[in-house]
Amino acid sequence: MEIEKLGGTTERLYRLVAPLVMKPCILRENNNYPFKTSMHHIWFIAIEEERVVGFMPVEIKDKYAVINNYYIDKDDPDLLAALLREVIRHYAGQYKLQSVTHSRHLSVFAANGFSIIRPWKLYAKMEHRQQETL
């Protein structure tokens, strides 16, 4: 598997993720919330055998880098952890890293140095503990 990093408005990003983000089954996994992007986003795309198996968009907001509206094929915890490690490696020391995390993924985020700062019904807002290096 390779992880490709793409700007939020690049043509390649649209070609890679459009077939997924328009599928009703993928939208249902995201609680029917639409996927968003902008020039303030960087997307980490996991590709295996020429197929997108996951993605993790990160939006830069002031001093924060925020993970939100990610997709992981079959909720694979190893794939999720690999994308998280890449995001952490990329942003460590530059921004405070936060996430809007699906409840079903809380344990994977916690194992990668995130703590809950605000629980919600279907999600939790989490923040990465910067002093830990993964």
Q: In this predicted model, what pLDDT tens digit does every residue of 18-62 receive, in sequence order?
A: 999 989 999 888 888 889 999 999 999 999 999 999 999 999 999
Task: State the pLDDT at residue 54.
Answer: 98
Distance CA 97, CA 130 (A): 8
With CA atoms as reference, report the closest residue to 97 among 79, 83, 78, 76. Answer: 83
Domains and CATH numbers, the chain: 1-126 (3.40.630.30)
* Kind and range of the H or E run holding 20: helix 11-21
Distances (CA, A) of 125 to 9, 17, 57: 25, 24, 15
Average confidence (pLDDT) over 104-128 = 97
At 99, is the secondary structure helix, strand, or coil?
strand
Distance CA 115, CA 86 (A): 18
pLDDT at residue 108 tops 80: yes
Average confidence (pLDDT) over 119-123 = 95
